[in-house]
Structure 1
Amino acid sequence: MEFEKENLDAEAAKGPEVVSAPDVDDASIEEIRRAKEIQSRNPVLRYLKKGEEWLDAKMGIETQGVDRIPEEKKQPPSIWNIFLMWWSLNVHVGVVPLGLLGPEFGLSLKQSIAASVVGTMLGALCTAFTGTLGPKLGLRQIATSRYSFGFWGAKLCSVLNVVVGGGFAVVNYVVVGQILNAVSDYTMSITVGIVIIAVISYVLCVFGFKVIHTFEKYSWIGTFILLCVLIGQAAPHVDSSLPGLDGSSGTTFAANFLTILSINFSNASGWCSIAADYYCNFPADTPTWKVFTLTWWGIVLPTTFSVVIGCCLGNAAVSVAYPPYADAYGNHGLGGLIYEVYHPVGWSKFCLVMLTFSVLGNNIAINYSSGLSLQLLGHYFHAVPRLIWSLLFVIVIAVLAIAGQEHLSTIVSNFVSLLGYWTVSFTLVLLIEDQFFRKRSGYDLTVWDKPHALPWGCAAVLALLTGYLAGGVTGMAQTWYIGPIAAKFGGFGGDVGIYLSAAFTLIVYPVARIVEKKYTGR
């Protein structure tokens, strides 16, 4: 046991794992003091804080907020939670629509699966790396970005993270609304279903880290079984030998393939801005390779499972166009299609009700992390309890989902693919900072919330904006805009924005950061 601990300590001390942290409590104490001062001066904030403390005393909700967690105060769950939590985040009906897009873009079943799996595997690399910073620094994910984006630049990341989470949540809410609409034989409106899942998701997210980790560890199991039954009942109408529709070869095929790959990359990499939120309680000497490997497999396996099921359903309903499936999907969306696939009717309704709760694991994680991101916008935002920010987030997302309930496929294809343009740049900035600029110096954890001691962040913001505007915009292929480079691939364009964003970030950030360090010393 002693030998094992020595090995872990030695591994934790290599390269950028070296963390300089004298008096690690100082920064956290200072941040807590500032937030309390603001709360004490404002009667509304003072009342909200007392309400949060009362809920903590009565029900044990988390009041930690975004403060750094010192090593001696960490309360880590099992390391296997790193792997299992992603199953609840990705084995649910909200991921299935990603698979339906392949057939809608004219790809065959094999082509759809190939593009989806490759995109997921590449995107998961982003989340797997950023997650490794959580145990090492004891900080939430957006807070870790302050060591490259600076105190002010990280605010941009906070906003983008909330937008990313909001996009995923809108898809989940609409899918659940469609499912409950189908269960009621289309008598209950989709809007009512959206409101129901929004309320339940919020209530669960309020309890915080411990409850979320426990819930995520087990909640995927029932959904996994139901989705296995779903594909089993749909299998007789799936035809894997059917070729793609219009574009199975040439530039049109390349465009469609690249677009589906991009969407799945964006889905898997979209977690890169929240992964450390759930790892910051693990000890700093947790081997980096374990965190990386468990995260990567934890995302790839369940996401691939859900997306491939979507590909098969899309093949049956869109490519094969089996009449009952095609009619149900065309008239009532994904909820109607799933209702038609399960049979008999009684069993179908039972499965749909159970699948309604499958998105909870995903939703509560998004609500929780979005509340933390909003707290990181500044000291006044930090003074507002996390549960209030999460409530406001849920209300806004529910309104957006109600407004966009008739356009699920458009939301998925347009919004989700847009995420990858910023997530790849965000990941590469943190990666270069960690592996190159802090290889020897490490991180001074006493300055995580001190603007004057953190980097200016100009280099990181410049790299992010350059990657997005010069790379993402010119390479995007959306229904409302096709970039000049994307337009080279067929009539409807092929999304290559991710690759261009990555290239521009890799070129701009190292050069700009060297200049920034030379002139600022930070």
Structure 2
Amino acid sequence: MAAIETDTGSKIAGKDKISTETQDVEKAGSTLSCSRATTEDVPRAKMIRDKVAVLRHLGNLEAWLDQRIGVETQGIDRIPEDKKNAPSLLNAFLMWFSFNGHVATLPVGLLGPEFGLSLQLSVVAIVVGTLLGSFFPAYCATLGPKLGLRAIATSRYSFGFWGAKVCAVINIVVNVGFAVVSLVLAGQLLSAVSDYKMTIDVGCVIVSLVSYLISFAGFGMIHTFEKYMWILAFILECVLVGQAAPHIATDTPSSWSGLELSAAFLTFMAISFAYAAAWASTTSDYYCNYLSTTPRWKIFTLTYAGLSISTIFTLTIGACVGNAVFTYAPWTDAYDAHGLGGAMGEMYHPNAWSKFALVMSTFTVLGTLVASNYSAGLAAQLVGDYFHAVPRLIWSFLAMVVALVLAVAGHDYLSTILSNFCSMLGYWSVCFAVILFLEDQWFRRKDGYDLHAWDDPKALPMGIAAVGTLVIGYCVGGVLGMDQTWFVGPIAKAFGGIGGDVGIYLCFVISIIVYWPLRTLEKSMVKR
């Protein structure tokens, strides 16, 4: 094979040789060439920050905060091996329970009964959809330790320098969308605690500010916070389903039959699939500090287990709660009047315990909000050099403000927003993950990664194949198979009056078929 250029300019030949700043590491299946000091990897952003007074002052503020309270200043810059500060490997499993195992995930499970599915079919759709969808973020997680890069930065090796900007913008939308759902439910819960004297909007403001303060500190604080936050949520959800159990009607049949039942099942399974798969574009953000010597199978297995178990557990409880809400009249009335927060206020009893449980449940949503603020801030830095020059904490703040405004504006339409949003982000997540998987396992297996080129537009791929695959997969697979409030594709219509969302499955197949020939053609013409 061709020789790989190292940091010192020398050549090293051999399929599995990897040169790092401190040692040569054997990594099966790929060859990596590492870079020099982090600040030298990104001269354009550094020059812009030094030249523009406002950005220079913001950078100095960030550095001062780092010295005082340990605020992370790393941003999207690649982390060399000798600069990595790896958290416990157990975090790769536990943090997913904080990301997913909280009260804001319950509305997703609620959609099964709301779509007219029996509890049994709802659970089957949750399990199958989640187990399939969890593969994508689990695989993308393995690229973090391998490359030392954040999630969207890893996509530059397939989407190219300019194509990755598109991924960054979409990733911001995904993270803000997750934050909106969490904020709305948190606002409903706090409003219920006050006997609806406090508006949902005030609750949204309180929780958004707390979440920003935690994400403000960065990687180390987030890993510590997420390692333990799930315990409270787990206890509260077990109590919730226990107190709701007398009114969970397991014998309630589905509202549909025949083709329409298949449509409802496929749609809800697609939503469960999408909820798990949506993490694909953010997982590397939380793994880039693990050493490249960490076995990939461990990262994949722990991530897959943590993501799938936590999601299945919480969505199943959501389905049980939804079953009770839609079959027990007093809870149905509370849900119609005040959303899931109002229904939960009725489920928890007695009244004093209910108020305490609702307050505690409110702050379990911080698991997702913290991650959303953090990843949105990192994605924003990848939009351009001037964006890169702005500290992450500023972008995280702006993402929080946007999520807050959207939550205040749309809190009366949570179910509609959630069902449409989950499906739509699923189309993107599948295309994104398939492209990274094929690039890593096929096209980079021989050539490897030149890590010094991660921020060099001239050394990275053109990205035409990846962007083309994303557009074709989304427009052909998503549009033809989507079943949304505002549009039902022709294939989705074939399932009858209510339609059946099969866009995710079409996106998956089309992305596999399209990317390989397009990338092969691109490499033959551009040679990178």
Same fold (TM over 0.5): yes
Please say if 1:295 is aligned against 2:299: no
2:128 matches 1:118: yes
1:209 corresponds to 2:209: no
Aligned partner of residue 370 in structure 1, secondary structure:
helix
Q: 1 CA distance for matches of 2:36 and 2:367?
A: 32
How far off its partner does 1:31 sit? Answer: 3.6
Aligned-partner residue type, residue 145 of structure 2: P
CA contact (8 A) 2:42 2:455 kept: no
In structure 1, C-alpha distance between the alignment counterparts of 2:376 and 2:36, rounded to whole Å: 25
Alignment match of 1:187 (pick from 175, 197, 204): 197
2:362 counterpart residue number: 356
Q: Which residue of 1 aligns with 2:33?
A: 20
Q: What CA deviation, in whole Å up to 9, does each residue of 1:164-190 have, x standing for no partner?
A: 111111100000010011000011000
Residue 20 to residue 49, structure 1, CA distance change in 2 (3 Å): closer
Please tell me the residue identity of whatever aligns with 1:463. T
Is 1:482–1:492's contact at 8 Å kept on the other side of the alignment? Answer: no
Residue 435 of structure 1: CA displacement?
Answer: 0.5
Query: Post-superposition shift, 1:10?
Result: 11
Q: Residue 210 of structure 2 corresponds to which residue in structure 1?
A: 200
Structure 2 distance, partners of 1:204, 1:218, is 14
CA contact (8 A) 1:421 1:497 kept: yes
What is the 5 A alignment of 1:245-260?
245=255, 247=256, 249-260=257-268
Q: Paired residue for 2:332, among 317, 326, 336?
A: 326
Residue in structure 2 matched with residue 374 of structure 1 by the alignment: 380
The answer (yes or no) to whether the contact 1:135–1:279 under 8 Å persists in 2 is yes
Count of aligned positions: 506
**Aligned equivalent of 2:61, options 41, 47, 51:** 51
CA deviation string 1:477-522 (max 9, x = no partner): 0111100011001211100001111111111110000110011000
Deviation at 1:20, TM superposition (A): 2.9
1:228 aligns with 2:238: yes
What's the Cα RMSD here?
1.2
* Partner Cα separation in structure 2 for residue 40 and residue 317 of structure 1: 57
Which residue of 1 is the match for residue 274 of structure 2?
Answer: 266
**Residue 411 of structure 2 aligns to a residue in which SS?**
coil
Amino acid paired to 1:258 = L
The 5 A counterparts of 1:69-468 are: 69-245=79-255, 247=256, 249-318=257-326, 320=327, 322-468=328-474
Once the 2 structures are TM-superposed, how far is the Cα of residue 11 of structure 1 from its aligned partner? 9.6
Residue aligned with 2:149, SS = coil
Number of the residue aligned with 2:5: none
CA contact (8 A) 1:12 1:287 kept: no
- Do 2:41 and 2:78's aligned partners in 1 also have CA atoms closer than 8 Å? no
Instruction: Please say if residues 39 and 46 of structure 2, whose CA atoms lie closer than 8 Å, have aligned partners that are also in contact.
Output: no
Aligned-partner Cα distance in 2 for 1:228–1:117? 18
Task: Give the Cα–Cα distance (whole angstroms) in 1 for the partners of residues 517 and 96 of structure 2.
Answer: 35
What per-residue deviation string (whole Å, max 9, x for no partner) do you get for residues 377-404 of structure 1? 1211111000000011100110001000
Q: Quote the offset at 1:30 in angstroms.
A: 3.0
Distance in 1 (CA, whole Å) between partners of 2:403 and 2:186 is: 14
SS at match of 1:405: helix
Give the letter aligned to residue 315 of structure 1. N
Q: Which residue of 2 aligns with 1:4?
A: none
Q: Structure 2: 5+ residue runs without aligned partners?
A: 1-22
Identity %: 57
Structure 1 residue identity aligned to 2:480: T
Distance 1:71 1:209 in 2: 16
- Tell me the SS of whatever aligns to 2:102: coil
Quote the Cα distance in structure 2 between the aligned partners of 1:124 and 1:408: 24
CA–CA distance in 2 between the matches of 1:234 and 1:449? 53
- TM-score, normalised to structure 2, is 0.94
Take 2:61 and 2:410, find their aligned partners in 1: how far apart are those partners? Answer: 34
Deviations 1:48-107 (A, max 9, x none): 111111211211100111100001111101111000110100111110001111111110
Confirm or deny: 8 A CA contact 2:188 2:338 kept in the other structure.
Answer: yes
Tell me the alpha carbon deviations over residues 273-300 of structure 1, each in whole angstroms, 9 at most, x when there is no partner: 0101110011101111111110011111
Q: C-alpha distance in 2, partners of 1:33/1:160? A: 26
Measured after TM superposition, the shift of residue 359 of structure 1 is 0.7
Instruction: For 1:349, give the aligned amino acid.
Output: K
Q: Are the aligned partners of 1:68 and 1:138 in contact in 2 as well (CA < 8 Å)?
A: yes
Residue in 2 that maps onto 1:508: 514
SS in structure 1 of the partner of residue 307 of structure 2: helix
Instruction: Tell me the equivalent position of 2:493.
Output: 487
On the 8 A contact 1:167/1:416 being kept in 2, the answer is no
State the Cα deviation string for residues 426-465 of structure 1 (Å, max 9, x = none).
0000000001001111111010000000000000000000
Does the aligned pair in 2 maintain the 1:76–1:283 contact within 8 Å? yes
Once the two structures are superposed, what CA deviation does each residue of 1:172-231 show, in whole Å capped at 9, x if it has no partner?
000001001100001100000111111111111010000100000001101100110000
What is the rounded CA distance, in whole Å, between the counterparts of 1:353 and 1:393 in structure 2?
24
Partner SS, residue 449 of structure 1: coil
How far residue 12 of structure 1 moved from its aligned partner, in angstroms, is: 4.9
Amino acid at match of 1:303: T
Secondary structure at 1:440 match in 2:
helix
